[in-house]
């Protein structure tokens, strides 16, 4: 079966750093994606990891350890607009994405 | 460049009725996907088109769901007859190429919120 776990909710303060963890057990692995989704809107692509290590893109970074089935998304210098749900998704067979339940991040002033 | 668009944004129907959802992918994207998120659950894969062909329909819940992509452009997802458990948000996504890497990013539409009463 496919299992992707991430925390349901996290709260952080504006300007701080938040790390969202994602663990996965999937039959097949062709890469791990992080998406951001604001309420009522489309999920938008943030990052992609297929090899172990850290990918940095501005204020957002994502890390992958394939041997541990583990990834995290790091959000630095948090802004109010970063309040959203963050979705961890593994590309399994073919091009299919298998999603975790999403982590709702609330940024407080 | 226009993103993935979906119509309608909301649909409220009664149990037993038929509903058809439409997805227009990004122009030139051969790959088109349907996903669904039911209340309180994660987004789940339904099926994948490559042009007009169904590449993978392993996520389709049952034969009340019919997806088509005639001509390899837009796609429709018909639910007939609708049941209460079909309520949720139906997302469409498209991607450009069939290969590994960020170029294979799936671009999502805003979804259609379906409520079956």
Q: What is the pLDDT of residues A5-29, one digit of tens each?
A: 999 999 999 999 999 999 999 988 9
Which of B95, B67, B57, B56 lies closest to A31, judged by CA? B95
Given pLDDT bands bounded at 50, 70 and 90, which one contains residue A77?
very high
Q: How does DSSP assign chain B, residue by residue?
A: ----EEE-SEEEE-TT--EEEEEE--TT--EEEEEEE-TTS--EEEEEEETTEEEE-TT--STTEEEE-GGGS-EEEEESS--GGG-EEEEEEEES-SSSSGGGPPEEP--EEEEE-
Whether A78 shows a pLDDT value over 80: the answer reads: yes
B85 with B29: CB under 8 angstroms?
no
Asked if A101 reaches chain B (Cβ–Cβ under 8 Å), the answer is yes
Given pLDDT bands bounded at 50, 70 and 90, which one contains residue B85?
very high
Whether B98 shows a pLDDT value over 80: the answer reads: no
Task: Please name the residue that has the structure tokens 């951001």.
Answer: A36
Chain A, nearest residue to B43 by Cα: A99
Looking at every residue in chain B, the average pLDDT score rounds to: 92
Whether B29 shows a pLDDT value over 70: the answer reads: yes
Asked if B53 reaches chain A (Cβ–Cβ under 8 Å), the answer is no
């Amino acid at each position: 079966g496919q299992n992707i776990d991430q925390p349901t909710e996290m709260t952080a303060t504006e300007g701080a750093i938040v790390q969202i963890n994602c663990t996965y057990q999937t039959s097949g692995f062709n890469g791990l994606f992080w998406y951001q989704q604001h309420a009522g809107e489309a999920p938008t692509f943030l990052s992609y990891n297929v090899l172990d290590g850290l990918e940095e893109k501005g204020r957002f970074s994502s890390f992958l350890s394939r041997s541990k089935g583990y990834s995290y998304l790091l959000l630095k210098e948090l802004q109010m607009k970063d309040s959203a749900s963050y979705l961890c998704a593994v590309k399994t067979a073919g091009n299919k994405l298998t999603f975790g339940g999403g982590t709702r991040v609330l940024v407080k002033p | 460049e226009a993103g993935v668009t979906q119509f309608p944004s909301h649909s409220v129907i009664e149990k037993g009725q038929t509903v058809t959802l439409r997805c227009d992918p990004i122009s030139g994207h051969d790959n088109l996907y349907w996903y669904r998120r039911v209340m309180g659950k994660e987004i789940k894969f339904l099926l994948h088109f490559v042009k007009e062909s169904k590449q993978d329909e392993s996520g389709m819940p049952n034969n009340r769901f019919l997806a088509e992509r005639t001509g390899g452009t837009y796609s429709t997802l018909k639910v007939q007859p609708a049941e209460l458990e079909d309520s949720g948000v139906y997302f469409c996504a498209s991607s450009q190429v069939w290969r590994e890497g960020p170029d294979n990013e799936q671009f999502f539409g805003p979804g259609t919120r379906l409520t079956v009463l």
